[in-house]
Amino acid sequence: MTKTAETVLEIDLNALQHNFEYIKSKLKANTKTLAVVKAYGYGSDACVIAKHLEKLNVDYFAVAYVDEGVALREAGVKTPILVLHPQIVHFNLLIEHCLEPNLYSERVLKAFIDLTESENQKEYPIHLKFNTGLNRLGFKIEDVDTIDDYLKKTKSIKIASIFSHLVASEDLNEREFSENQINSFNKIIDKFKSKLNYQPIYHMANTSGILNYPNAHFDMVRIGISLYGFGNDQKYTEQLRNVASLKSIISQIYTINKGESVGYNRGFTADKKIITATIPIGHADGIHRSFGKGKGYVTINGSKAPIVGNVCMDMVMVDVTDINCKEGDEVIVFNNQQTIIDLASAIDTIPYEIITAISQRIKRIVK
Ligand SMILES: *Cc1c(COP(=O)(O)O)cnc(C)c1O
């Protein structure tokens, strides 16, 4: 691997494949797989990730918004794409690109039926989301009769899947709550089974649901963060491989004398002579400003270099006093799960936020 000459996010497709296969090894042979590639594939590169998973015969993709689905279609992705949170204003675009909406309330169900009827669509695949405790999006079990009435009156749509979402699948202290959600979902399934003369796909489990609740697998599972290397638990994360590595270089090295300050608002003042390195990556690239003043670090030639002073929009300065390095040397912001987990905990957040924050202006490179 040649050393980097600028800030890049390296995507490791072998790691992705390993993670997908690891998760599949936890499933029954006939359980379908849906890969969640929202938010640019958790900050990596949704099109690259999706194209690779398509080769591995994934059954479905999910994105959050219509534009994300359009980008996948434009990249040539042919697999069905569920749009988890479509906005009515984009329904035309959604249909144009054969994307499949999650219809989560009577308002959006009605709007979608009106549109598909006016376009003479036949059995356009839709997905219905049920709220079993997250209290975010979705119908409730009491709505099944109303939904059924709408469905009986139209041939323009057909249910491809019915799903719900677990609240705390990674938290085993909430096992009882999760089991109650699974029971509620089973009741919803029973109600539909008595009404429908065909069998949609039922699904509920995200990564931790897959790993912790085999009874939540149903017909399909929705694989998100684990594809990218995180199992929300050390014992699972150890089995997974990191997909995205963020690298940069040293632009300039400075000697800071005692009493001199570094960066905006003099966020750091030297109480002894130190050496700093300036790195071309900042809060506009996803390095949260809260990493400033020593909370975050990068790795240079194998040693940790803490961030000095405030994170700038396009740069950070790091302390390399005890590190043998020079301008142009490679800088690792993160390159394995453990660094990402440590960085996340340093600013009291979760790996999901660290990886999805990596700005689109950083070049993605496939390894
Ligand atoms: C984001 C998301 C997922 C993926 O969850 P992970 O914890 O990343 O596996 C699954 N289902 C829904 C509805 C989501 O919004």
**Residue 36, CA distances (Å) to 49, 90, 344 in order:** 10, 20, 21
288 belongs to a structural domain: yes
Chain CA centroid to CA 230, Å: 11
Cβ atoms 357, 274 nearer than 8 A = no
Average pLDDT on 192-217 reads: 97
Ligand 1 atom at minimum distance from 36 CA: 4
**Among the three residues 175, 201, 230, which one is the final residue of a domain in this structure?**
230
191 belongs to a structural domain: yes
Flag whether pLDDT at 51 surpasses 60. yes
Report how far residue 184's alpha carbon sits from residue 182's, in angstroms, rounded to the nearest whole number. 5
Instruction: Work out the percent of the chain whose per-residue pLDDT is above 70.
Output: 99
199 belongs to a structural domain: yes
**Residue 244, CA distances (Å) to 46, 120, 156, 337 in order:** 12, 44, 41, 9
Ligand 1, residues 206, 220, 240, 350: which to mutate, most atoms within 8 A of Cβ?
206
Report how far residue 13's alpha carbon sits from residue 245's, in angstroms, rounded to the nearest whole number. 12
Under the banding of pLDDT at 50, 70 and 90, the label for residue 297 is very high
7 belongs to a structural domain: no
Going by their DSSP bridges, the two strands 8-11 and 363-366 should be labelled as parallel
Same domain, 256 and 134: no
**Among the three residues 179, 199, 230, which one is the final residue of a domain in this structure?**
230
**Domain enclosing residue 55, as ranges:** 13-230
Average pLDDT on 198-226 reads: 98
User: What would the two tokens of residue 335 be?
Assistant: 């390159």
Beta bridge partners of 125: 158
Q: Looking at ligand 1, which residue's alpha carbon is closest to its atom 10?
A: 206
3 belongs to a structural domain: no
Ligand 1 atom at minimum distance from 225 CA: 8
* pLDDT tens, residue by residue, 189-204: 999 999 999 999 999 9
Determine the distance separating the centroid of ligand 1 and the alpha carbon of 116, expressed in angstroms. Answer: 28
338 belongs to a structural domain: yes
Average pLDDT on 130-154 reads: 98
Same domain, 58 and 147: yes
List all residues whose CB is within 6 A of at least one atom of ligand 1. Answer: 36, 38, 84, 165, 206-207, 222-226
Residues with Cβ within 8 Å of 323's Cβ and at least 6 positions away in sequence, in order, are 300, 301, 303, 305
Q: Looking at ligand 1, which residue's alpha carbon is closest to its atom 4?
A: 224
Flag whether pLDDT at 1 surpasses 60. no
Q: How many domains, in total, are found in the chain?
A: 2
Ligand 1, residues 16, 34, 36, 178: which to mutate, most atoms within 8 A of Cβ?
36
Dihedral sign for Cα atoms in the order 58, 204, 89, 45: negative
169 belongs to a structural domain: yes
| Residue 4, pLDDT score | 85
Cβ atoms 19, 227 nearer than 8 A = yes
For residue 128, give the 3-state DSSP assignment: strand
Same domain, 156 and 295: no
Ligand 1 atom at minimum distance from 206 CA: 9
**Residue 174, CA distances (Å) to 127, 162, 204, 215, 348 in order:** 27, 24, 16, 15, 21
Determine the distance separating the centroid of ligand 1 and the alpha carbon of 6, expressed in angstroms. Answer: 32
Same domain, 120 and 222: yes
Under the banding of pLDDT at 50, 70 and 90, the label for residue 367 is confident
**Among the three residues 195, 230, 265, which one is the final residue of a domain in this structure?**
230
User: What would the two tokens of residue 156 be?
Assistant: 């323009």
Determine the distance separating the centroid of ligand 1 and the alpha carbon of 120, expressed in angstroms. Answer: 33
Under the banding of pLDDT at 50, 70 and 90, the label for residue 3 is confident
Report how far residue 330's alpha carbon sits from residue 341's, in angstroms, rounded to the nearest whole number. 21
Same domain, 119 and 160: yes
Q: Looking at ligand 1, which residue's alpha carbon is closest to its atom 6?
A: 224
Determine the distance separating the centroid of ligand 1 and the alpha carbon of 349, expressed in angstroms. Answer: 17
Same domain, 31 and 152: yes
Determine the distance separating the centroid of ligand 1 and the alpha carbon of 353, expressed in angstroms. Answer: 13
Ligand 1 atom at minimum distance from 163 CA: 13
Average confidence score pLDDT of the chain: 97
Question: Which residues carry out catalysis?
Answer: 38, 264
Report how far residue 242's alpha carbon sits from residue 230's, in angstroms, rounded to the nearest whole number. 8
**Residue 355, CA distances (Å) to 70, 167, 240 in order:** 22, 21, 16
Ligand 1, residues 222, 223, 350: which to mutate, most atoms within 8 A of Cβ?
222
Ligand 1 atom at minimum distance from 222 CA: 10
Same domain, 189 and 324: no
264 belongs to a structural domain: yes
Whichever domain contains 99, its CATH number is: 3.20.20.10
Report how far residue 47's alpha carbon sits from residue 349's, in angstroms, rounded to the nearest whole number. 27
Ligand 1 atom at minimum distance from 207 CA: 9
Report how far residue 242's alpha carbon sits from residue 240's, in angstroms, rounded to the nearest whole number. 7
Same domain, 221 and 93: yes
Ligand 1, residues 84, 102, 230: which to mutate, most atoms within 8 A of Cβ?
84
Report how far residue 276's alpha carbon sits from residue 50's, in angstroms, rounded to the nearest whole number. 40
* pLDDT tens, residue by residue, 234-280: 999 999 999 999 999 999 999 999 999 999 999 999 999 999 999 99
Same domain, 223 and 260: no
Determine the distance separating the centroid of ligand 1 and the alpha carbon of 250, expressed in angstroms. Answer: 36
Determine the distance separating the centroid of ligand 1 and the alpha carbon of 209, expressed in angstroms. Answer: 10
* pLDDT tens, residue by residue, 75-88: 999 999 999 999 99
Same domain, 152 and 194: yes
This prediction has a pTM of 0.97
Same domain, 288 and 206: no
Same domain, 208 and 249: no
* pLDDT tens, residue by residue, 71-129: 999 999 999 999 999 999 999 999 999 999 999 999 999 999 999 999 999 999 999 99
* pLDDT tens, residue by residue, 299-341: 999 999 999 999 999 999 999 999 999 999 999 999 999 999 9
| Residue 295, pLDDT score | 98
| Residue 2, pLDDT score | 60
Whichever domain contains 328, its CATH number is: 2.40.37.10
Residue 272 has what DSSP assignment? Answer: S
Burial letters 120-137, b for 16+ CB under 10 A, else e: ebeebbbbbbbbbbeeee
